[in-house]
Amino acid sequence: GSLGSSLYVMLADSGVESTSKDPEVASSRLVPGQEQSSSSKRKKLVLLGTGWGGMSFLKDINTSLYDVQVISPRNYFVFTPLIPNVTNGTVEARSIAEPIRRMCRNRKKDVKLYEAECLDIDHNNKRLLCRDVSEVTVKGKEEFIVDYDYLVVAVGALSNTFGIPGVEKYCHFLKELEDASRIRDTIVDCFETASLPNLTDDERKKVLSFIIVGGGPTGIEFAGELHDLVHQDMAKLYPFLKDLVSVTVIEAVDHILNTFDARIQNYAERKFRQEGLNLKTNCQVKKVNEGEIVYLDHKSNREEIMPFGLVVWSTGLGTRPVVRDLMEQIGQGDRKVLATDEWLRVKGCNSMYALGDCATVEQRKIMEDINKLFELADKDKSGTLTVEEFKEMMEWARKRYPQIETFMKKKQLKDVRLLIKSAEASHTTDKTEVDLEAFKEAVAEIDSQMTRFPATAQVATQQGAYLARCFNRLPLESEGPEGPLRVTDEGYHRFQPFRYKHLGMFVPLGGEEAAAELPGDWISIGRSTQWMWYSVYASKQVSWRTRALVLYDWIKRLFFGRDSSRL
């Protein structure tokens, strides 16, 4: 008897596809070449990638409902927030890696895992071309085809070089576990090389010049870690070199940590400058040559050259080739990441979903829905609603957009709250006609404040869990759809759209200090925040094994310092 169900009927009447004609279900029946497993009627669900998004999906998916196959070039999961800890030996590489097979066995998941890379996605025929990535081969590099009914793409992203010459060849990236181990070795190598007797002090300075390009959270955390390593450990082992070391951060815009609150930016910049780190903001790298980096300083408008022993490139994300090829096939060639709708369905494809760093959710504007609801509720097309209809529409809109509530609670959005309240207040009388202008104004304000999700583990994990929940309910829903939940351009969908819940963000700054931005405009900076960071990341470990190993590494570092062996 709610407005929701009457709107559903009206939408269905108006020709918009209903849930029972869901494109996913329909298309998966029609696609040629799809092979069902002879032993079971379960549909083939293929997952690409075993990072944050992939593992969160795998953790929650009910493997008795689907024939789940996982394809990933690495057979382990990495706890990426601790990768910078590996670069200076605070944590060992293996302490933050957990084998996928172990995770599946512990959670009693019935999955087939192929340690391979997906080279090509043929979305028309629902086929994947894959290749073994290991050194052990039987008939050369093994290539094979995998068919799917549903595909979940969670392959993450690459480091973005922006096509700048020399970056690929001379810089280190900080993305994978192997990168961190290589950086650790190179740092120690730089110190050992600088200790050789035949070098001048200028040559030593050059080899001990460490540059980080990119002042985002990863680059800044690494800079802090490096500073700690140099001053807490290397200074004791190489006292004759300690005054020759320099750590420089090059950032293209005005401030480092530019996605964080201004208070955190200012604190971090002040701290780094006091500790003697070089911060070069407004500087853009143009080229990297062997042993020297060329950048344009926008403040002086001059090109500068800086020698280096190690450069770590951490400037954002680029697209994996397999994703780029797919985007070209499906008309998304001009984009950097796959566009999905709010149900994580890849736009322009059937039965394909994407999450995490390789995808972005194109959020619908709330106003579009409100207008549509209004039009549908306005039965006599008079441009007005009755009070009852307005109230029902409001209820519907609030369920649809929990942000309306969240935004209303936020202090800085007092105006929006007042607008909505006054819009509501004016409709509590017995007037038969209501004017929605104030309400619409508030909604437009909310729309303008909606931002894209950041590329973080937090987003990928929530998306993986959301998608697994939808898949677990899919067989049930096909038999007895629970009815319309959401209105979209393509018609109703049986599930609520994905909604990201931001839980806050940390950035360690070195020297046992960290900064945190918490929901509700809270920030926290200092040593206590670093302890909060330790406890959060210890608790977030994916297994008791890695938790024990990480805690052991932290304690070991406290007593014995960091290990400077170059293995």
Phi, psi of 258 (to 5 degrees): -70, -5
Smallest distance, ligand FAD to C-beta of residue 508, A: 9
The single-letter DSSP state of residue 149 is S
Report if residue 158 touches ligand FAD, rule: CB under 6 A: no
State which residue, 241 or 346, has the beta carbon closest to ligand FAD.
Answer: 346
Supply the DSSP symbol for 453: P
Q: According to CB under 6 A, which one of 4, 54, 215, 484 is a site residue for ligand FAD?
A: 54
Of residues 438, 442, 437, 439, the one with CA closest to residue 413: 442
Quick one: which of 160, 456, 530, 564 contacts ligand FAD (CB under 6 A)? 456
Which residue of this chain has its Cβ atom nearest to ligand FAD in the complex? 51
CB within 8 Å of 288: residues ≥ 6 apart: 164, 165, 166, 167, 169, 170, 171, 294, 311
- Pick the closest to residue 319 from 153, 505, 459 (CA basis): 153
Q: Of these, 3, 58, 71, 104, which contacts ligand FAD (CB under 6 A)?
A: 71
Q: How far is the CB of 98 from ligand FAD (least distance, A)?
A: 12
C-alpha 490/C-alpha 127 separation (Å) is 25
Residue 154 touching ligand FAD (CB under 6 A)? yes
Comparison of 54 and 491: residue with beta carbon closer to ligand FAD: 54
* Smallest separation (angstroms) from ligand FAD to the CB of 37: 21
Residue 461 Cβ, how far from ligand FAD at the closest point, in Å? 8
Q: Which of 4, 8, 11, 53 binds ligand FAD (CB under 6 A)?
A: 53
322 binds ligand FAD (CB under 6 A): yes
Cα–Cα distance, 148 to 14 (Å, whole number): 33
Print burial letters for 546-559: b (CB count within 10 Å at least 16), e (below 16): bbebbeebbebbee
78 vs 237: CA distance, rounded Å: 31
110's CB contacts (< 8 A; 6+ apart) are: 63, 64, 68
The verdict on 73 binding ligand FAD (CB under 6 A) reads yes
Q: Any contact of residue 50 with ligand FAD (CB under 6 A)? A: yes
Q: For 537, what's the count of Cα atoms within 13 Å in the CB-facing half-sphere? A: 26
Place of tokens 């590329």: 455
Residue 280, both tokens: 């070069």
Contacting residue, 43, 172, 204, 320, with ligand FAD by CB under 6 A:
320
Within 10 angstroms of residue 116's Cβ, the number of other Cβ atoms is: 21
- Considering only the stretches 73-81, 297-305, 333-341, 416-424, report the one whose residues sit in contact with ligand FAD under the rule CB under 6 A: 73-81
Q: Does 546 bind ligand FAD (CB under 6 A)?
A: no
Q: Which is nearer to ligand FAD, 314 or 332 (CB)?
A: 314
Q: Is 74 in the site for ligand FAD (CB under 6 A)?
A: yes
- Contact residue for ligand FAD among 218, 350, 462, 546 (CB under 6 A): 218
Using alpha carbons only, what angle is made at residue 185 by residues 182 and 186, rounded to the nearest 5 degrees? 85
- Cβ atoms of 509 and 271 closer than 8 Å: yes
CA pair distance 564, 477, nearest whole angstrom: 57
Asked if 529 touches ligand FAD (CB under 6 A), the answer is: no
CA dist., res. 161 & res. 15, Å (int): 47
Q: What is the dihedral sign for C-alpha 51, 52, 57, 58? A: positive
Could you tell me which stretch among 68-76, 183-191, 271-279, 521-529 binds ligand FAD (CB under 6 A)? 68-76
118 lies in the site for ligand FAD, by CB under 6 A: yes
Whether residue 54 contacts residue 48, with contact meaning beta carbons closer than 8 Å, is answered with yes
**Nearest-CA neighbor of 337 among 351, 353, 320?**
320
Please, what is the end-to-end C-alpha distance for the chain in angstroms? 71
Q: Does 223 bind ligand FAD (CB under 6 A)?
A: no
**Which residue's CB is nearer to ligand FAD, number 4 or number 81?**
81
Helix (H, G, I), strand (E, B) or coil at 2: coil
Separation CA 130–CA 117 (nearest Å): 5
Q: Could you say whether residue 467 binds ligand FAD (CB under 6 A)?
A: no
| Min dist. Cβ of residue 217 to ligand FAD (A) | 7
x/- map, 412-451, ligand FAD, by CB under 6 A: ----------------------------------------
E-assigned strand segments in 217-372: 246-250, 278-280, 283-289, 292-297, 302-307, 310-313, 317-318, 338-340, 352-354, 359-361
- Residue 344 in 3-state DSSP? coil
CB of 221 to ligand FAD, least distance (A): 7
Single residue of 235, 387, 457, 536 touching ligand FAD by CB under 6 A = 457
Q: Considering only CA atoms, which of 367, 122, 85 is closest in space to residue 229?
A: 85
* For ligand FAD, the closer CB: 72 or 315: 72
Closest approach of Cβ 86 to ligand FAD, in Å? 9
What is the closest distance, in whole angstroms, from the C-beta atom of residue 120 to ligand FAD in the complex?
Answer: 9
From the CB of 251, what's the least distance to ligand FAD, in Å? 17
215 binds ligand FAD (CB under 6 A): no
Question: Whole-angstrom Cα distance, residue 336 to residue 338?
Answer: 7
Q: Closer to ligand FAD at the Cβ: 77 or 295? A: 77
Mark 337-376 with x for binding to ligand FAD (rule: CB under 6 A) and - for no binding: -------------------xxx------------------
Q: Is 550 in the site for ligand FAD (CB under 6 A)?
A: no
**Segment near ligand FAD (CB under 6 A), from 151-159, 226-234, 342-350, 445-453?**
151-159
Count interface residues toward ligand FAD (CB under 6 A).
Answer: 33
Phi, psi of 554 (to 5 degrees): -60, -45
What does the longest C-alpha to C-alpha distance in the chain come to? 92
From candidates 129, 199, 387, 455, binder to ligand FAD by CB under 6 A: 455
Nearest to 553 by CA among 92, 178, 225: 92
Near ligand FAD in 170-199, by CB under 6 A: 174-175
Q: Which residues bind ligand FAD (CB under 6 A)?
A: 48-54, 71-74, 80-81, 83-84, 117-118, 154-156, 174-175, 218, 320, 322, 356-358, 455-458, 460
